[in-house]
Chain A
Amino acid sequence: MPELANLADLAHVHLLLNHFPTIGMILALGLLLLAFMRKNDHLKKVSFEVIFLIALATLPVYVSGQAAAEALKGQAGVSAEAIVSHNDAALGSFMMMELTGFLAWLALWRIRRAGRPTTGLTYTVLILTVLTVAAVARAANMGGDIRHPEIEGGQYAGWFGTSAASGGFISAAGIKDFVLQHPFVWPTCETLHFLGMSLMFGVLLIVNLRLIGFLRGMSFAAVHRLLPFGLMGFGVNFITGMFFVIAASEQYTQNVAFHYKVLLLILAGVNFLVLTVYDEAWSLPASADAPLSGKLLGASALVLSVGVMYFGRMLPFIGNAF
């Protein structure tokens, strides 16, 4: 398996990508506010799509941050405390980001049935987007404190005080201790990870086999109803997967199989978004065949999800062993 990136590359990836969540969510918030001002439902839909994509892009930002922390470990001029505070703030904002992304997806999914964005969900996404912008900007600001000598030295205390002073209730070290000190946690998470995977893949199977044309006689609108179960399975796997990454990050950050897994996961996420909003197929009746673009979309969804499973299962065998 060819290497994608070493630890130093990943630290660069982190520096490259780490502005996307903050700037992306500010842009998404602007779009959403504009949509409210213009009373434009289509623009609301676009805002939800942007929020989903930014939430997806935040995944490599968070995991590359773990690699960056390892690359910086023990280097002169780097505050270990600042890294810990940044990591905790990042984890909190990451959780909010994913919750917002999930609800933005739910809003997109509801549009299919309701015909327009529903009020309650739209306002919930708006409020969560505001909170996420604040949380992610705080995390980014604290990340900047890790090594920027020009703003250190007492003249600049940072908008949020010194980084080391933060003591939020989300602590990556606390999660790590919880997972590693209780022998039941890891196997339980593994079991849930396999159950979530089966649920998610079952939904992808029925939806995409319909798109490809293997399953017939059901309308796309009918299978569209099952999509939330797929995202529910993904949610279980996202949470349990984060437990693994936080508890044993060095097992993953330098594992080429994990790099491929994250890459395929992002592609699968984009595929899932396209699938959710794919108008050409969802309006077709039960007897109709999907256009070629739909068949390709369905086939790539199945290939990508099998690929994610493959690299997950191969984590202990490709690259560094556990």
Chain B
Amino acid sequence: MLTSLEQSSFSTWLLSSNSIWAYPTVLTLHTFGMMVLVGAALMIDLRLLGFGRGIPLQSIDRLFRVMWGAFALNAVTGTMLFVADASKRGPSLIFWTKLSFVAIGLVMAVMIRRRNFESGAEPVVISGAAKRLAIVSLLAWSAAITAGRLLAYVA
């Protein structure tokens, strides 16, 4: 199945077209989405860990929307990039490691928002549990980027 995905006319276009709008643009959009998604997540994590204390949590709630938008972009572009290289990525351990860390990062974002943002009340102190979530989130996104970057060199 992976091979048939890879041999679809879409995959052929994405990989073999010399157009700047094919592979280069999809890859650049994927990088843009990563930068926005991880950048916003890092800011929320840093705030929970005590940096920028003067920033009320409620005022950065909108960053979650930015994150979901960036994730939607990367789910689409990521699927396109996977399809184009399916038989290489499908069995790649690094690829599935990357996706696992992305999943952990997203779960952390949902949990962080549920625990610290949805009540609408500004917490006086950030709980230890929230800080632990922030640390897991920081590590998960860093690991996802590391695995993603290694895909270009190792896999």
Contact = CB atoms under 8 A, between A and B. Distances in A.
Interface in A83-120: none
Contacts of A222: 52-55
B32 interface: yes
A225 B53 CA distance: 9
Contacts of A72: none
A197 B37 CA distance: 12
Contacts of B63: 205-206, 215
A24 interface: no
Given A225-B52, A317-B24, A201 B60 contact: no
Contact of B54 (A195, A218, A310, A313): A218
Contacts of B66: 205, 209
Interface of A: 186-187, 190-191, 194-195, 197-206, 209, 214-219, 221-223, 225-226, 229, 286, 306, 309-310, 313-314, 317-318
Q: What 10 A-B pairs are tightest by C-beta distance, nearest first? A: A222-B54, A202-B39, A217-B59, A317-B24, A198-B38, A218-B59, A201-B39, A187-B153, A191-B149, A202-B42
B42 A186 contact: no
Given A194-B34, A221-B54, A223-B55, 20 more contacts: A187-B149, A191-B145, A191-B149, A194-B31, A194-B149, A198-B35, A198-B39, A202-B38, A202-B42, A205-B43, A215-B62, A217-B56, A218-B54, A218-B56, A223-B52, A225-B53, A226-B43, A309-B32, A313-B31, A314-B28
Contacts of A195: 142, 145-146
A229 B46 contact: yes
Contacts, number: 112
A306 B52 CA distance: 24
A66 B16 CA distance: 33
Interface in B23-74: 23-24, 27-28, 31-32, 34-36, 38-43, 46, 51-56, 58-60, 62-63, 66
B38 to A, nearest CB: 4
Given A191-B150, A217-B58, A226 B28 contact: no
A243 B113 CA distance: 39
Interface of B: 20, 23-24, 27-28, 31-32, 34-36, 38-43, 46, 51-56, 58-60, 62-63, 66, 141-142, 145-146, 148-150, 152-154
A317 to B, nearest CB: 4
A225 B51 contact: yes
Nearest to B153: A187
A143 to B, nearest CB: 36
Given A205-B40, A215-B62, A218-B54, A198 B150 contact: no
Contact of B141 (A198, A200, A205, A309): A198
The winner among B39, B40, B153 for most chain A CB atoms within 10 A is B39
B153 to A, nearest CB: 4
Nearest to B29: A313
A220 B49 CA distance: 20
Contacts of B154: 187
B112 to A, nearest CB: 15
Contact of B27 (A186, A229, A313): A313
Contacts of A313: 24, 27-28, 31
Nearest to A226: B52
A321 to B, nearest CB: 11
Most chain A Cβ neighbours within 10 Å, of B24, B27, B40, B43: B43
B152 A190 contact: yes
Given A199-B42, A202-B40, A218 B145 contact: no
A186 B154 CA distance: 12
A317 B19 CA distance: 10
A151 B149 CA distance: 50
A187 B28 contact: no
A251 B141 CA distance: 30
Contacts of B152: 187, 190
A123 to B, nearest CB: 27
Contacts of B41: 202
Contacts of B60: 206, 215, 218
Task: Report which residue of A187, A194, A197 has the largest number of chain B beta carbons within 10 angstroms of its beta carbon.
Answer: A194
Contacts of A199: 39, 42
Given A306-B32, A314-B28, A219 B54 contact: yes
